């Protein structure tokens, strides 16, 4: 069977994380893609070469100086044969390159245009995943373990691209990474995961506990899981669990929970990156 995006041709100048992640997903669905990078390459390549290579495995990459007349002419030829143009620049930067939505509509009336910005309410404002998470209240004094805005934003880019491709050309859209956190932040906004909320430490059966070695995540949320957990531990319903969780190692608790079909897992250690001296 043909893949959903077979025959779709994409030209992308989107860099860092959201653009490459979205582009890889679109290619996985059958699209073919050419990625244009500046002469110095995509910053993601320097940040994490293995991830960069994984995301660009099936993508043709060209390094072109779009500030030069020859570079823009080469990009024009590529766009003449494309169905979708993907960017991740602030509007002023695209306008300087003659790649804003209005210019693209006139120069390439067959093309769908999609740009990724930080915040759709203020597309010219500088920011990155960390600042968007901080503004949404999703991090505090510690750096987040993952790139929520970038990755959820990439998923929005994919769905928006699919919708654009269903529209007659020319069509254009903009995706804001900050807006991708609106749904992600809903549990916190409604108090579900806020400190002391039902999924924020308010329930003893939905917490992270210190074990004899390591930590465990207990998620006995449904009544039948909660009942089974307390029955297996020989404790009354609602009893504190911190002390009993320290009696076994995280691995032992995980094996125990698997036998009883309980939602409990050891907390995996995050990989450590050796710092350069």
List pLDDT tens digits, range 19-31.
999 999 999 999 9
Total Cβ atoms within 10 A of residue 48: 13
Q: In the predicted model, what is the mean pLDDT of residues 116-120?
A: 97
**Is residue 61 within 8 Å of 35, Cβ to Cβ?**
yes
Entry pTM: 0.89
Confidence category of residue 276, pLDDT binned at 50, 70, 90: low
Spatial CB neighbours of 11, under 8 Å, sequence gap ≥ 6: 33, 34, 36, 75, 78, 79, 82, 84, 85, 86
Residue 179, φ and ψ in degrees, nearest 5: -70, -25
List pLDDT tens digits, range 70-111.
999 999 999 999 999 999 999 999 999 999 999 999 999 999
Is the pLDDT at 277 greater than 50? The verdict is: no
Is the pLDDT at 39 greater than 50? The verdict is: yes
**Is residue 206 within 8 Å of 218, Cβ to Cβ?**
yes
Distance CA 78, CA 76 (A): 5
State the DSSP H helix or E strand holding residue 62, giving kind and residue range, or none if neither.
strand 60-63
Is the pLDDT at 214 greater than 50? The verdict is: yes
Domains and CATH numbers, the chain: 9-187 (3.40.50.10540), 198-266 (3.30.1540.10)
List pLDDT tens digits, range 179-212.
999 999 999 999 999 999 999 999 999 999 999 9
What confidence score (pLDDT) does residue 263 get?
98
């Amino acid at each position: 069977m043909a893949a959903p995006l077979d025959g779709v041709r994409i030209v992308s100048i989107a860099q860092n994380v959201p653009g490459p992640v979205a582009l890889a997903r679109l290619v996985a669905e059958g699209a073919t893609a050419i990625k244009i990078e500046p002469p110095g390459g995509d910053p993601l390549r320097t940040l994490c070469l293995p991830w960069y290579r994984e995301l660009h495995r099936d993508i043709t990459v060209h390094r072109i100086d779009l500030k030069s007349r020859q570079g823009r002419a080469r990009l024009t030829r590529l766009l003449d044969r494309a169905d979708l143009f993907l960017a991740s620049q602030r509007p002023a930067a695209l306008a300087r390159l003659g790649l804003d939505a209005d210019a693209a509509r006139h120069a390439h009336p067959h093309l769908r245009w999609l740009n990724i910005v930080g915040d759709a309410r203020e597309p010219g404002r500088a920011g990155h995943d960390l600042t968007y998470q901080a503004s949404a209240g999703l991090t505090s004094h510690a750096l987040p373990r993952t790139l929520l805005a970038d990755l959820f934003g990439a998923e929005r880019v994919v769905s928006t691209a699919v919708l654009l491709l269903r529209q007659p050309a020319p069509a254009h859209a903009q995706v804001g990474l900050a807006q991708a956190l609106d749904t992600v932040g809903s549990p916190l906004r409604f108090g579900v995961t806020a400190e002391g909320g039902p999924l924020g430490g308010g329930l003893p059966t939905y917490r992270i506990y210190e074990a004899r070695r390591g930590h465990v995540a207990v998620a006995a949320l449904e009544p039948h899981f909660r009942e089974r957990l307390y029955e297996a531990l020989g404790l009354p319903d609602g009893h504190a669990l911190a002390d009993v969780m320290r009696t076994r190692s995280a691995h032992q608790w995980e094996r125990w929970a698997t036998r009883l079909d309980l939602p409990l897992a050891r907390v995996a250690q995050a990989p450590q990156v050796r710092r350069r001296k």
